[in-house]
Amino acid sequence: MVRLRRHAGSASLSAVAIAASLLSLSGVAQSAENGLQRYSPGIGGSDMTAPLAPGLYLQVPLVHYHANKLKGGDRGAATTPTPVGSPPAPVALPNLRSELGISADTYAALPRLTYLSTTRLLGGNVGITAMLPLVNRQARFTATPVGLPANLTAALAPTISSSVGTLLNGNETGIGDLEISPLIHWEIGDHQALNIAPTLVLPTGNYDVTRRVNPGYGNFYTFRPSIQYSFIGDGWDFGVRTVFSFNTRNKDNGYYSGNMFNVDWQLMRFISDDVRLGVQGYFVRQLSKDTRDLSGFSSTEIAAKGLNRTEIINGNKSSVTALGPALGWVVNGGEMLIEGKYLQEFGARNRTEGQAVWLSISKPL
């Protein structure tokens, strides 16, 4: 959250003053810079619960994520101090705050190529995997004063929401950030496998520091090692992937997104020769606080980029959990695997809370 001072007095409240004061909303109630992280929770699925043999594979996950809740550190609706700037408000408004509303949508195609060779290292097969997303992100914010008489709320809400929308709303489409990783795959016993993938994420995506909404995540790098365990049984299949994300400093705004921990899991069962039904979930936990370091930025750069030196209160550490059904169809005995799933988030803290619909196509080439 951002801390802003309150002012009270006898003059009229100006829309210009509110808009100027709302410039520091850009970090409110969210973590991992703009509430995002360089891993798509829920993307793991059939690649965790299907056999992997040497060869070339194409995966094309498609996702629509929608969120209409923005949660604060107490898992309640996110709020921010409502600044009244100067000239002061017509009446004293102690502890005036606004509740933030959001309607956010992400549409993404996440095509991935994976090659697993017959070359062995440390007893496992060596491979490589790469993914380059195509992303459309939309965000629409509102702000409603809380704790005021109804007539004053009605008078202030349109101006405040309009100012918030002007500063924070966006709709952008473009290429995301390239992921590339070596891969080692072990068969560790009957029906069991283990994968390790030390992924590097490069800042190749469409990104502008002056925009709130971007297809890319920022001008920084992410090292994202993961380990995945799979049990491929005679009826039940289970997979779990643990992922750590370590970020460098965003060179465009001095922001350090905290280190993240993700777990994706899926449990599936064949209900016919070619149809699988099961359940999938994930949880996200931020391990370290967000920070910002503007040393090295001139006053001119700070002003041009709309930055501020406001402290990031409590580090805005985020978390969320999700659960939902998954359905898979094995086409022609393995020529292709098509999978759909719906994941509902709950228990969010310092981030959005929503639901995701996934459709994934996996095919050996």
When pLDDT is cut at 50, 70 and 90, the band that residue 23 belongs to is very low
Between CA 136 and CA 3 the distance in angstroms is 32
Q: What is the pLDDT of residue 242?
A: 97
pLDDT, position 91:
35
First-last CA distance in the chain? 49
What is the structure's pLDDT at 79? 57
Q: What is the pLDDT of residue 309?
A: 55
- How far is 340 from 202, CA to CA, in rounded Å? 29
Weakest-pLDDT range from 47-56, 90-99, 325-334: 90-99
Would you state the structure tokens that stand for residue 257, as one six-digit string? Answer: 């997104």
pLDDT at 347 over 80: yes
How far apart, in whole angstroms, are the C-alpha atoms of residue 49 and residue 291?
A: 37
pLDDT band at 94 (very low <50, low <70, confident <90, very high): very low
Return the CA Rg of the chain.
23
Q: Mean pLDDT over residues 207-219, rounded?
A: 88
**DSSP one-letter code for 277:** E
pLDDT band at 61, cuts 50/70/90? very high
pLDDT mean over 263-270: 96
Judged against a pLDDT cut of 60, whether residue 81 lies above it is answered with: no
CB 28 within 8 A of CB 176: no
For the segment 131-162, what is each residue's pLDDT rounded down to a tens digit? Answer: 999 999 998 887 777 766 777 767 776 777 67
Chain segment 95-122, per-residue pLDDT in tens = 566 777 788 999 999 999 999 999 999 9
Beta-sheet pairing, 192-201 with 170-175: unpaired
* pLDDT range class, residue 90, cuts 50, 70, 90: very low
**Does the pLDDT at position 33 exceed 90?**
no
Amino acid 14: pLDDT: 39
Mean of the pLDDT values across residues 167-177? Answer: 89
What is the average pLDDT value for the chain, to the nearest integer?
81
Q: pLDDT value at position 209? A: 85
What is the tens place of the pLDDT at every residue in 62-80? Answer: 999 999 988 877 666 655 5
Q: What is the pLDDT of residue 312?
A: 52
More confident residue, 300 or 13: 300
Tell whether the model's pLDDT for residue 351 goes beyond 50. Answer: yes
Residue 308: pLDDT band by 50, 70, 90 thresholds?
Answer: low
> Does pLDDT of 311 surpass 70?
no
Q: For tokens 């709130």, what's the residue?
A: 212
- pTM of the full predicted structure? 0.82
Place of tokens 């449990």: 267
* 15-364: in CATH 1.10.540.10: no
DSSP 27: G
The predicted pLDDT at position 2 comes to: 30
What number is the average pLDDT over the span 159-181? Answer: 83
Beta bridge partners, 239, equal 230, 266
